[in-house]
Chain A
């Protein structure tokens, strides 16, 4: 054998054996969640839901072992960035998933934009990540775009005969986008927005806003809140005597299981729209709810646990389809985009649109007691195949400005 040939062959063998080694080494997933700070309760459920799926799958996918490396983002974007760097550059994970607060997700998305590491965001809802400022390697498996579920809710409200809506919402992008989706669909369908009240996050006292809402005498109120703000709004809505007088509609997060879990009758009867309803009678949903409760001391799964469970399911199915070759990022991302889930706990098939956001059958849900006396969101209606663009053409939709305080898509009468 000539010397040059020898070198060439031995190099080939070396590279072959190193790919072979990469193929047999475990797949490393970096999961980030707020385990301390404001969003810690939801963060716990992110970890619970995500790891529950992998435990059921014996921590295997595509013939390879799966390792999950969990980092606390401390509900703080600066920390999230540092942890993302650590996971990618030091721990050398194959891809990232998780985060709860929009700002942590946006910071991490900005980081992976530069290095192409796949990043899956079942909770981060910021519209632009799957619309105008789409990043190819950021995919919202299991999650929803902020303004995806509020248009069907607006449509439902119009069908009930409500014509004048007042809106209370947290004053940041997530609030602007959910309200924008509602306001646009509601006004285009003939309704009027008679008032929008934006308040800062962590508003202890809703009395100033509720007073103004009551004096407007709307047909219906739409509230977009998260975390402790949701609890307070729903409680104060009842204690100021508005419950029962003016029907209350909520964004999915306003009345999520994580919120109503600690509440009493004040949450009963609130209507929202979402892809998941923990009180749905579907066998697949109930099997999941039961398994989740059995694993995590009788907790009913919330949005955070659920979305990360099906997010993990989505990723796993794609990894199986490519026999574990997650190192080939383009192939991996393309496969995730093409993967659909016929048999998730949603009980209905779901797929991703061309922008990396799922298309769902959306439930209209009402808070009621289940047979154990616990409060759950149960379906009272549904809208098939709702995408993040509602009934608009994607290109046309993205030509209008992003929803903000100034632009709510309100149609002039």
Chain B
């Protein structure tokens, strides 16, 4: 029973991490709270669904979903956000408008039925882990979450782009003074963050399904993760995702009535006493 709940919490946390890491990257470097992140998740997931259904390949679905979300990210950054650069609140509210438009567009295109991204044959069914019977696909999600964490860590700490991003989170002015075109770094980060939302959409769409309002649900969870973890912190997103995933899983078993409280109560308290989250740094 408890191993089972633990696995549930961990696998859900892995998905949350994939989505929230994209969110926190954009928030950290560009200072944009992208409230359209959930819409990118849904849109990417739906494009991935169509691609996977048409080609019969899960990988093609992932590629299409990530690509579509990245393109939307570019359009959002270059087409709209550049007009409000530097105004934090206007940016946030603008992305909220974008979220409305994207969600309704998804409804027009895909019709609002509950859709499931077809998963590859090899990942279907369940396997035995000690005393419990557990779906293979969810274990795959857990593995993927760890892989994404490792990949992002490598990118941020072992590459030049990563060094620029990290420096940009702490001090964007200095970077610009060094003669680096910070705009390109911004755009690259935005694309990466959006693509991660798209990846989450395809992965999540295969076991949590895609439907109107899936966007706001995942957005609220991601917000909780990022608020707990702290702006722009990869480790923070990881810890936040684990906390939210486990609180959600154990909360539903232990006190189902207060399932929401179990996540947002601790988050509100934390934010009241550590406004920047566990791993956040002052801007």
Physical contact A–B (CB less than 8 Å)? yes
Residues of A within 8 A of B (CB): 36-38, 40-41, 44, 171, 197-200, 202, 204-205, 207-209, 211-212, 214-215, 227-228, 230-232, 235-236, 239-241, 258-259, 261-264
Q: Is B56 an interface residue (CB 8 A)?
A: no
Q: Which residues of B contact A259 (CB under 8 A)?
A: 114
Tell me which of A199, A230, A239, A263 contacts B126 (CB under 8 A).
A239
- A43: nearest residue on chain B (CB-CB)? B112
A239 to B211, CA, bound (A): 20
Least Cβ–Cβ distance between B129 and chain A, in angstroms: 12
- Pull 14 A–B residue pairs with CB atoms less than 8 Å apart, ordered by A: A40-B111, A200-B259, A204-B208, A204-B217, A207-B249, A208-B8, A230-B114, A231-B211, A236-B135, A236-B207, A239-B126, A259-B114, A262-B115, A264-B118
The 9 A-B pairs with the shortest beta carbon distances in the complex, nearest first, are A40-B112, A41-B112, A228-B211, A241-B126, A228-B114, A207-B8, A239-B135, A231-B114, A211-B4
Tell me which of B8, B116, B134, B135 contacts A231 (CB under 8 A).
B116
Tell me which of B5, B104, B112, B134 contacts A44 (CB under 8 A).
B112
Q: Is B113 an interface residue (CB 8 A)?
A: yes
Tell me which of A199, A230, A240 contacts B135 (CB under 8 A).
A240
Q: Is the contact region of chain A dominated by helix, strand, or loop, or is it mixed?
A: helix
Does the CB pair B125–A241 fall under 8 Å?
Answer: yes
A231 to B114, CA, bound (A): 7
Q: Which of A202, A205, A241, A263 has the most CB of B within 10 A?
A: A205
Least Cβ–Cβ distance between A42 and chain B, in angstroms: 8
A214 to B12, CA, bound (A): 20
Does the CB pair B256–A228 fall under 8 Å?
Answer: no
Does the CB pair B113–A261 fall under 8 Å?
Answer: yes
Q: Is the contact region of chain B dominated by helix, strand, or loop, or is it mixed?
A: mixed
Least Cβ–Cβ distance between A74 and chain B, in angstroms: 11
Q: Which residues of B contact A227 (CB under 8 A)?
A: 114, 211
Does the CB pair A202–B213 fall under 8 Å?
Answer: yes
What range describes how many residues of B lie at the interface?
35 or more
Least Cβ–Cβ distance between A393 and chain B, in angstroms: 35
Q: Is B107 an interface residue (CB 8 A)?
A: yes
Does the CB pair B211–A205 fall under 8 Å?
Answer: no
- B250: nearest residue on chain A (CB-CB)? A208
Does the CB pair B112–A208 fall under 8 Å?
Answer: no
Q: Mark B143-167, 1 if CB is under 8 A from A, else 0.
A: 0000000000000000000000000
A204 to B213, CA, bound (A): 11
Least Cβ–Cβ distance between B227 and chain A, in angstroms: 20
Does the CB pair B114–A208 fall under 8 Å?
Answer: no
Q: Mark B118-139, 1 if CB is under 8 A from A, else 0.
A: 1000001110000011110110
Asked whether A239 and B124 contact (CB < 8 A) given A211-B4, A262-B115, the answer is yes
Q: Mark B1-44, 1 if CB is under 8 A from A, else 0.
A: 10011001000100000000000000000000000000000000
Does the CB pair A208–B212 fall under 8 Å?
Answer: no
A235 to B125, CA, bound (A): 11
Q: Is B214 an interface residue (CB 8 A)?
A: yes
- A34: nearest residue on chain B (CB-CB)? B112
Q: Is B101 an interface residue (CB 8 A)?
A: no
